[in-house]
């Protein structure tokens, strides 16, 4: 089975800020848009930022994973280690505040991965991951 792109629609309270963050900081190409939504190419996947009230998209909970409080809900993507490091550097240079700083989770265990969490301007939590070997994605 070949991997197919996912589609995720999520709330933002300011389309201009979403455009600057996803397009400018994250480097996501822009697709179709209107006065109420914008399509982004999120590393080959389709994200759609929909204009919604300012209190939309906030955390419902936090789950503890490897000693960190992981925001729920969140979304993200799995990159190569090289792309992960480059994006982490770009985020630092852009002054983005990390919810969880880039680090290696589950070090020396099955599923070892690099991970980082940050929020977009509307407060949506995003996780970026990378594995030395993609066969570790579902390791137990």
pLDDT tens profile 47-90: 999 998 766 445 567 778 888 888 878 999 999 999 999 999 99
Q: How far apart are CA 56 and CA 113, in angstroms?
A: 30
Measured CA to CA, the distance from residue 104 to residue 111 in angstroms comes to 10
Average pLDDT over residues 116-126: 95
| pLDDT the model gives residue 60 | 61
Residue 1 domain flag: no
Residue 70, helix vs strand vs coil: strand
| 3-state secondary structure (DSSP) of residue 15 | helix
Query: Domain of 78: which CATH number?
Result: 3.10.180.10
Whether 107 is covered by a domain: the verdict is yes
> pLDDT at residue 134 above 60?
yes
Going by pLDDT thresholds of 50, 70 and 90, the confidence category of residue 45 is: very high
Indicate whether 94 belongs to any domain: yes
- Residue 71's pLDDT is 82
Q: Which two tokens stand for residue 18?
A: 């979403």
Asked if residue 116 is part of any domain, the answer here is yes
Residue 105: inside a domain: yes
Owning domain of residue 71: 7-53+61-136
Asked whether residue 43 is domain-assigned, the answer is yes
For residues 124 and 117, what is the distance between their CA atoms, to the nearest angstrom? 10
Evaluate whether residue 33 is within a structural domain: yes
Chain centroid offset of residue 46 CA: 12
Q: Please give the DSSP secondary-structure letter assigned to residue 135.
A: G
Number of domains in the chain: 1
Q: Is 58 helix (H, G, I), strand (E, B) or coil?
A: coil
Q: What is the dihedral of CA 21, 8, 40, 101, to 10 degrees?
A: 30
């Amino acid at each position: 089975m070949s991997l197919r792109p996912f589609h995720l629609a999520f709330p933002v309270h300011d389309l201009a800020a979403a455009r600057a963050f996803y397009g400018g900081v994250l480097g996501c190409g822009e697709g179709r848009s209107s006065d109420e939504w914008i399509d982004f190419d999120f590393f080959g996947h389709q994200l759609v930022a929909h204009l919604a009230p300012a209190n939309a998209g906030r955390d419902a909970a936090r789950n503890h994973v490897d000693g960190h409080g992981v925001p729920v809900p969140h979304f993200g993507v799995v990159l190569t280690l090289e792309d992960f490091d480059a994006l982490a550097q770009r985020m630092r240079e852009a002054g983005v505040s990390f919810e969880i700083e880039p680090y290696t989770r589950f070090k020396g265990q099955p599923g070892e991965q690099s991970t980082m969490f940050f929020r977009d301007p509307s407060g949506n939590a995003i996780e970026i991951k990378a594995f030395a070997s993609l066969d570790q994605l579902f390791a137990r």
